[in-house]
Structures are given as structure tokens and as C-alpha cells.
Amino acid sequence: MKGILNEIRFFKSHEHNMKVLLLTNLIYGFVLPVVEIFAGAYVMRDTNDPAMVAYYQLAMYVGVVFTSMVNGFFLKFLNVKTLYSAGILVSGVSLAGMMNIQGLGLVGLGLAGFSLGAASGFFWTNRYLLALYNTNDENRNYYFGLESFFFSVASITVPLIIGAFIGGMSGVEILGFLFDVSMSYKVVTIGVFFLTLLACAVLWKGQFVMPKEIKFLHIHFHVLWRKMLLLASLKGMVQGFLVTAPAILVMKFVGDEGALGLIQGISGAITAIMVYVLGRIARPQDRKWIFFGSVWVFFIGTLANGILFSAVGVIMFVLCKVIFQPLFDLAYFPVMMRTIDVVAKLENRNEYTYIMSHEVGLFIGRASGLLLFIALAYCISEDFALKYALVIVSALQILAYPLSNNITKQSNLLAKQNGYEEK
């Protein structure tokens, strides 16, 4: 109990805006698993086609890039809190819209994915911007460690609760409504919308500054930022699979959404504690080791899935995936923001320039990974794609370790040479 009280006091010792952001993300963390996991499972159930799930995901990422650009123009006359709140709210609304589409055809699936991606674009770009302005390189390990702790806890509890709800309510009639899987999803979506309202209410307690009103569209960048965009592409290449592959593989080999929630929960509990402790004690120079461990854990998981391609292999993959994702993000986001700090000063540009172009880098990786999966699924077979596409992208992900190490060294060198001080 004393240790918990000490951690609460440490949290309270930080800036007001940083605490507001973390509390907002704590609440929204209980929405993300629904958007990231169960939306994919819903599409898989409706279409019974893994390639269509990948297509839906690709449409979603097109929406992210589109709104990240539109967001830059909106920032000139709308408060960043308004745009961040819009992203939170629209994610719930667009999810509800997808659940009400009767028969997800190619056009409907594309529109559903694009609209959910559009909401995500407003959410993630403004989230990055607020985190960049309200943290510094010394406290970002703690910030992203605590945030990853929230998301990891949510990834345990939400799938378990929703999986149990979907399974337990099947065939039950309440007030004349017969609950099937589709009806259960709609009830879940209503709950998601109320959570988004609560997250917005907390966000508005913050006093956030607006970004500078200068040009944010650029094509040419310093070599350091081009390296960061390459790292973003490597991250994006895996990211698409992290959303679609677990749902597809679990439903193919293990069972339904309830099984998906149980498997995620087993490794998520350990990971949640691990990322919090690492975020609390790790120094900026320790990020390279977190990178190193995370990419190899993920590679081992994909290799187990590719070799075994069975329920055991899927369980091993999902366990490794749940460990990999928060650990990788714990190291990745502070490196990204440190690089933005340095390059924005070096090139005298608006920080949003780099946040928007970072989304483009992520999209290139996401599109490459998902198109690889679709090509393998249609040209060879779905099983071949599920086996080997993951192995290929996880092997490429190993390159993130030396690349991030180089980016960190060059960022520190440029900051020292130009006399840049931490905020």
C-alpha cells in the first residue's frame, strides 16, 4: 500500500496538463481494444475473409492520413482540445455506423474503414501534439510507460468483459430484444460512446497551448527526420498485422471473441506491470535495450505461428504480440518526440509538420504490410499469408533496433552542437 501511495504522489508531482492527458488516455484506453480488436473480429465474422479484413484495415489507414492533413488546417482556427475531443467522439460514432451496416460489401467495408480511420487520425495526431508540448525527454519514459500500463490493463479487462458479455447474452431476450452476436456488439458500442464522452469531459480540464500558425506542409526534410520516417514505416508495417492477425488467427484456430480476450489477458497482466516499472526507472539511454528485447520477442512469436500454425502456435504468437507492442511503443514514442524536438528547431518549422509526415511514414509501412498479406492470400493462399507474411514483417522489424540507435545518437549530437535545451 505504501508503494502505491508513493506512485500516486509521484504522479501528482507532474505538470497539470500532463496529468490531464494521462487521465484522458486512461479512460480512452478502455475504448481502444473495442476499436482495434473487436472491429476486426466483427468484419471477419461478417465476411469470413481475412483478405477483406486487411482491405478494411487499409481503408482505415487511408482515413488516418487524410484527416492528419485536414487536422493541420483546422488547427489554425480550432482549439487542439476541440479536435482531440472530436477524434475521441467520432471513433464511437463511426464504430456504431459500421455495426449498423447490413452486409459489409466492398464499398460499405471501405467506407466503414475510412470513417473509423478518419476519427483515429484526429485522435492520434492531436494526441501526439499534446504529448509533445506537455512532456520532455526526461519524463517521456514515465509518460509512455504509464500510458502503456493503462492500455495494457484495458487490453486485459475489456476483451474479457466483452467476450463474456457476447457469449453470455447469446439467445437471451430482454424487453422484447433477442440478443445475438450482432445485438451484443451494438450494446458494446453504446458503452463505448459513453466512455468517449467521459474522456472528453476530462480532457477539457487541461489548459493546452495552440501550435504556431506557420506553414506545416513540407516535402524536403533533414536526413535525421528521413531516418525517423523509415523507422515509422517499419513500425507501420507490423502495426496493421497487430490489429487484424490476432482476431483472424484466434477465430480460425482457437475459438470466438471470448477466447481472444482470455489469451490477451494472460500475457497482458505481466506486461502491464513490466512497462510501468520500465517507464518509471528507465533512462533515455536505456531505450535501445527496450527496442532490442521487444523486436526479438515479436519475431519469436511470429516464427512459432509460422512453424506450428496451430492453436498452440497462435497462443504463442498472441502472447508475444501482447508483450511486444507496449514495450516497442515505450521506446519508440520518446525517440520520435526527441527527434521532433531537435529537427523542428533545426529547420525552424511547426512541430505539426513532423507529426503529419510521421503519419505518412506509418501509412507507407501499413499499406506495404497489408498489401503483402492481400497479395499472398490471393496469389497463393490465405494460410500461406497467415503463416509467412507475419514472419517477413517481423524479420524486417528487427532493423528498428540499429536504426533507432542511430537516430538517438544523431539527435543528441545535433542538440549538443546547436545548444538546444530541453523544454
Q: What is the pLDDT of residues 32-55, one digit of tens each?
A: 777 665 565 666 566 666 667 777
d(C-alpha 305, C-alpha 284), whole Å: 33
Are the C-beta atoms of 268 and 152 separated by less than 8 Å?
Answer: yes
pLDDT higher than 60, residue 422? no
d(C-alpha 156, C-alpha 319), whole Å: 12
pLDDT digits (tens, 9 = 90+) for 381-410: 878 888 888 888 889 889 889 999 999 999
Q: What is the pLDDT of residue 192?
A: 79
pLDDT digits (tens, 9 = 90+) for 274-312: 888 888 888 888 888 999 999 999 999 899 888 888 878
d(C-alpha 41, C-alpha 48), whole Å: 10
First CA to last CA distance, the chain: 34
pLDDT digits (tens, 9 = 90+) for 175-198: 666 667 667 777 777 787 888 888
Mean pLDDT of 79-88: 84
pLDDT digits (tens, 9 = 90+) for 240-273: 677 667 767 776 776 655 555 566 666 677 788 8
pLDDT higher than 50, residue 423? no
Q: What is the pLDDT of residue 98?
A: 59
Cell, residue 262: 482470455
Please indicate whether residue 256 or residue 10 has the higher confidence score (pLDDT): 10
pLDDT digits (tens, 9 = 90+) for 219-236: 788 999 999 999 999 998
d(C-alpha 85, C-alpha 88), whole Å: 5
Q: What is the pLDDT of residue 407?
A: 94
Per the prediction, the chain carries an average pLDDT of: 80
Largest alpha-carbon pair distance within the chain? 71
d(C-alpha 221, C-alpha 219), whole Å: 7
Are the C-beta atoms of 74 and 83 separated by less than 8 Å?
Answer: yes
d(C-alpha 380, C-alpha 288), whole Å: 37
Mean pLDDT of 317-326: 84
d(C-alpha 48, C-alpha 59), whole Å: 18
pLDDT digits (tens, 9 = 90+) for 95-151: 666 556 555 567 777 777 787 788 778 888 888 888 988 888 888 999 998 888 888
